Amino acid sequence: MKLLAGNSNRPLAEAIAASLRVELTKAVVHRFSDMEVFVEIHENVRGEDVFVIQSTSYPANDNLMELLVIIDALRRASARRITAVIPYFGYARQDRKPGPRTPISAKLVANLITTAGANRVLTMELHAGQIQGFFDIPVDNLYSAPLMVPDIINNVGKDHLMVVSPDVGGVTRARGFAKRLDVGLAIIDKRRERAGVSEVMNVIGDVKGMRCVLVDDIVDSGGTLCNAADALLDAGAVSVQAYVTHGVLSAGAVARIAASNLEKLVITDTIRATEGVRVTEKIRVLSVAQLIGEAISRISSESSVSSLFD
């Protein structure tokens, strides 16, 4: 087994390698003057089981291109099996046609990864489960609940606890958290007027006197979480925290969350944390290195990955 890392999230790749007690494969991934991606692998990978660790986060197109070129280099170097380990799968929010003459970019990206030469994909908390069907190769989709549920129990506690979905689309995820924690579930009825802007309309469920935990897969602008926190507090909640897998946190999001009524935002390191995230007291980062490392080990040994979540 060999691990190879792109440039998108080097600290996570190093942490995964440390958890597996292996060294990252020596390789050069850099740019020519016109920003073309160049890859050169400095170790023999012929006949090897290779895992390429690369999130397609900001800058999404550059990191995606890096992933594709690395996969092509490995295929041409006769690697036995290539697994694309994509902790954060960019373009996942474009999983359907929201209107006429619009693309399904998640399917396009799946085709690109398959055509480049990947034999399987390991990812985490896909925005929509059906994206697994966009690939014609095996896909293992990991979930953050095994990390976040114990953290909620240890740092929030279960007394007067209520799990909240910030929108109707996330009810299945929130219900899973509520079931694991054996607590109640509430839902935010949200109407989105345009991309990146959300308006909270109503709270479904009795949250009066409860300590609420919002759970979601992606936090981008932070507007949804901040509006949801305000609505929950207006409805009588005592406090509001949020647990979100992927901290996209685009421009202004960190400052928005820091100034919000959220008590704490907990994210994972599927996307490399910016300096702003690291210094903000309201944001805490959980590492998924151990979980991804265990999944990689099981894939390499042909063991069950789904049993990780039993």
pLDDT at 190: 75
Catalytic annotation, residues: 190
Measured CA distances, 275 to 90, 201, 287, 309 (Å): 21, 34, 16, 32
Q: Looking at per-residue confidence, does 92 or 310 come out higher?
A: 92
**pLDDT band at residue 196, thresholds of 50, 70 and 90?**
low
93 carries a ligand binding annotation? yes
Same domain (yes/no): 97, 151:
no
Nearest-angstrom CA–CA distance, 215 and 266: 10
CATH number of the domain residue 158 falls in:
3.40.50.2020
30 carries a ligand binding annotation? no
Number of domains in the chain: 2
Same domain (yes/no): 122, 152:
no
Of 120, 87, 92, 122, nearest in space to 106 by CA: 92
Q: Looking at per-residue confidence, does 35 or 190 come out higher?
A: 35
Same domain (yes/no): 239, 197:
yes
Same domain (yes/no): 216, 300:
no
CB 113 within 8 A of CB 135: yes
Q: What is the pLDDT of residues 152-163, one digit of tens each?
A: 999 999 999 999
Of 205, 285, 190, 264, nearest in space to 237 by CA: 205
Rounded CA Rg of the chain: 20
Same domain (yes/no): 105, 50:
yes
Q: Which amino acid is at 126?
A: L
167 carries a ligand binding annotation? yes
End-to-end CA distance of the chain: 26
94 carries a ligand binding annotation? yes
What is the value of pTM for the model shown? Answer: 0.93
Q: What is the pLDDT of residues 49-94, one digit of tens each?
A: 999 999 999 999 999 999 999 999 999 999 999 999 999 999 999 9
Same domain (yes/no): 46, 179:
no
Domain region containing 167:
145-287
Element housing 4 (H / E): strand 2-5
Same domain (yes/no): 238, 299:
no
Same domain (yes/no): 77, 158:
no
What mean pLDDT is predicted for residues 214-220? 96
